[in-house]
Structure 1
C-alpha cells in the first residue's frame, strides 16, 4: 500500500525535507478509498496536506488481493518528506526505506 501511494505523491516545494504528515485512510474491501484526511498533527502546510490526500486517492484501488486477512478499514500512513531517489538507483538496488519522496509507515487503529 505504501509503495502505491509513494509513486503518486509529488512533494510541493512548500513542504520541507523531514517534515511528517500522518494521513488517515478509510477504505472498503478491494482497496477502494472512501476518504483520506491529513491528521491534526501533520507538519505540512495546506498545499502539502492536499498533495498527500490526493496521492492516496490517485493510487486507488490500493493493494488488496492477497492481503484480505490483514485488511483494516482505517489505516494511518505517515509521510516523511524526502528527496526522490534517482531512477537508476531504483532499478539497480532494492528500495530502502526513506529513499523516496515519502515514507509512509502503516499503523493500524
Structure 2
C-alpha cells in the first residue's frame, strides 16, 4: 500500500464509517479515555478543575485513533483484494451506511424516550 492522497482519503472514509457505525463503542472509548485523563490530572495538579476542561478535548481526539487504525486495515484489505480504485468507492458506501444506521439508532432511542 502506497501512502498517497487516495490512500489517505480511503483510510479517512473507512475510519468515519466505522466511527459512525460503532458510535456506542466510540462513546465508550471516549468516556474511558476521559476517566483515565481525569485521574491523571487529579494526581498531578492540586487544582485539577483547570485540567478537566482539556480532558474532554483530548479524549475526543484520542478516541479516533483506534478507528483510524482499523480504517487503515479495511482500506488495505479492500485495496489488496479489489484493486486501487475501490477503497474510496466502498468507503463512501460504508459512510452512507454508517450514517443511515446512526440516524436510525438515534431515532429509535428518541422513540423509546417518548
| Same fold, judged at TM 0.5 (above) | no
Larger RCO (alpha carbons 8 Å, 6+ apart): 2
Normalised by the size of structure 2, how large is the TM-score?
Answer: 0.28
Structure number with greater Rg is: 2
Bigger helix fraction: 2
Bigger strand fraction: 1
Normalised by the size of structure 1, how large is the TM-score?
Answer: 0.29
